[in-house]
Structure 1
Amino acid sequence: MKDPSRKRHIAKALTWRIVGSVDTVFLSWLITGNPMTGLKIGFAEVITKMVLYYLHERVWFSINLSKSGLVRENKMRHLAKTITWRMVGTADTMVLAWLLTGNPLTGVKIGLAELLTKMILYYIHERIWYRIDYGLIDRVEM
């Protein structure tokens, strides 16, 4: 039997990547002053972030937070996912920006700028997806 949650995680990865890439392009453009640099960084991260986000979702899906053996979904879990994802995502953006601009300080500036914007956007994304049943067989409210 196929795991329906995989479809959900792929859909979440796609929607998040759209939101995240638009944010990265915009911030990179603002910081470097060059829209092409913003586009290069934004497009470069599409593949790396899709893979990293999918893996992050699979790890969090497997984490069992309740004594009854059910995965618990709540605001604290979403906050924890937000923080862990942001750590992974920021590191990826910093490295990509450094490699594409040749300047490590540019990578740090873009990464730090993303910390706030992406955490807010990711939390909102998580809350929206929590309300969507796509890819779930049964949802247990706790």
Structure 2
Amino acid sequence: METRQRSVVKAIVWNVMGLVTMTVVGLIATGSATVGGAVAVVNTAIGLTMYLIYERVWAGISWGRNG
């Protein structure tokens, strides 16, 4: 089973990558770094929360594990 700390670190790294990507996409789509950044921050906060919940649920499921 994965520790909570590992799940959190994985989620943060994944979401930082997503934040950068969404900021660029938002900038291209809106032409505004402020609006693009705001959309990216909201998306990242929601994504981080959902990812942590998702990881913790799967950490408790033994199906498909070896050993």
1:102 matched to 2:36? The reply is no
Greater mean deviation of Cα atoms: 96-105 or 81-90: 96-105
Which residue of 117, 120, 126 maps to 2:46?
117
Aligned-partner Cα distance in 2 for 1:98–1:132:
39
Which residue of 65, 75, 79 maps to 2:8?
79
Q: 1:133 to 1:108 in 2, by over 3 A?
A: same
Q: Aligned Cα RMSD in Å?
A: 1.8
Q: 1:98 to 1:134 in 2, by over 3 A?
A: farther
Q: 1:135 to 1:107 in 2, by over 3 A?
A: farther
Aligned-partner Cα distance in 2 for 1:130–1:82:
14
Q: Which has the higher contact order (CA 8 A, sep 6+)?
A: 2
How many residues get paired? 67
Matched-pair contact (CA < 8 Å) for 2:18–2:44: no
Aligned-partner Cα distance in 2 for 1:137–1:127:
18
Identity across aligned pairs (percent)? Answer: 25
Unpaired segments ≥5 residues, structure 1:
1-71
Structure 2 length normalisation: TM-score? 0.79
- By how many angstroms is 1:102 displaced? 2.2
Could you report, residue by residue, the CA deviation over 1:34-66 in whole angstroms, capped at 9, with x for unpaired residues? xxxxxxxxxxxxxxxxxxxxxxxxxxxxxxxxx
Which residue of 122, 127, 130 maps to 2:59?
130
Amino acid at match of 2:12: I
Unpaired segments ≥5 residues, structure 2:
none
